[in-house]
Amino acid sequence: MADKNKVAEQYYAPPPDLGKWEAFRIFLWNSETGQVLGRTGSSWAKILLFYLIFYAILVGFFAAMLAIFYQTLDSKMPKWQMDGSLIGSNPGLGFRPMPDSANVESTLIYYRANDKGSVLKWATVIDEFLEQYRKKGSGGGEASGAENRVPCSPSTGALGEKQVCDVPVDKFNPCTSANQYNYEQAGPCVFLKLNKIFNWTPQPYNTTEDLPTNMPEDLKHHIKTMEGKPDANMVWVSCQGENPADVENIGPIQYIPGRGFPSYYYPFTNKEGYLSPLVAVLFEKPRTGVLINIECKAWAKNIFYDRYERRGSVHFELMVDRS
């Protein structure tokens, strides 16, 4: 009876004292137990099956959530528009040419008018910017949707479903590529554009009533001469020196092809081939060798101006040298 209740004694045998490389070899493949990297084949199969199922479920869940998310989006129309969007309903004003990308904080356009290399540098930057405006077809090397562009004017009727207004930049004389944008004549052209905001439509100052008090007098006079004409329906543009010294040094200015962005280019509805309208500002005779601070503004009843936040305006510096 005592023998039946006797518990067999068990002894612990320490593992054999193996060398470093021998222990590593046995870890890789143990011929006695059939283990690979410390696990048997069935153990590895269970682990691989578990992770296969786990990641398949994870990928399936992510794909389902992504599919549901994309059902809420429209590839042609943003979900949040105007004041409901992050960019709001106040379009910003931009300029070209921009300085080198290495100087991201710089807004200085500086060149030497008698240096062909210096002139060519800025002309090339503008050429690259205007390249998309010169593409007119859908063939090889052309822009998608360029065939949708048609000539427009204030008297143009409603456009077709796919049609958009063309921007004939090659007619912006003397601000053309063939003339190197007048940089060699020390009277450079700077191109202005409004940032695109989906479904935004300008409310133009097309009469002399309720004009802002801070609007330049020359622009007020221009609006007065255009009052009652179809050409008065546009987002007006003005450029001035920021300080009294800049006003003296900036010289006469021309706006090509007109004093602003015509209303028939708006609203932007993401039609294929659409291009933002441009205004080429020709600084005819800026004083050479002097840094000129310039502020350009866009004028419409629904464009609000704030110099410190750069709302409705853009700032840059111009310096033309001849030495």
Report pLDDT for 315. Answer: 94
Q: Which of 157, 184, 193, 318 is nearest to 249 (CA)?
A: 318
Are 114 and 318 spatial neighbours (Cβ–Cβ below 8 Å)?
A: no
Report pLDDT for 143. Answer: 67
Q: Please tell me the CATH code under which domain 82-135+145-321 is placed.
A: 2.60.40.1660
Report pLDDT for 118. Answer: 92
> What percentage of the chain has pLDDT greater than the value 90?
53
d(CA 268, CA 274): 8
pTM of the model: 0.77
Q: Domain coordinates of the chain in residue numbers?
A: 13-73, 82-135+145-321
Report pLDDT for 13. Answer: 65
* Phi/psi of residue 15, nearest 5 degrees: -65, 155
pLDDT digits (tens, 9 = 90+) for 219-266: 999 999 998 888 899 999 999 999 999 999 999 999 999 999 999 999
Are 200 and 266 spatial neighbours (Cβ–Cβ below 8 Å)?
A: yes
pLDDT digits (tens, 9 = 90+) for 97-126: 988 766 666 889 999 999 999 999 999 999
Report pLDDT for 134. Answer: 86
Ranges in the chain, pLDDT < 50: none
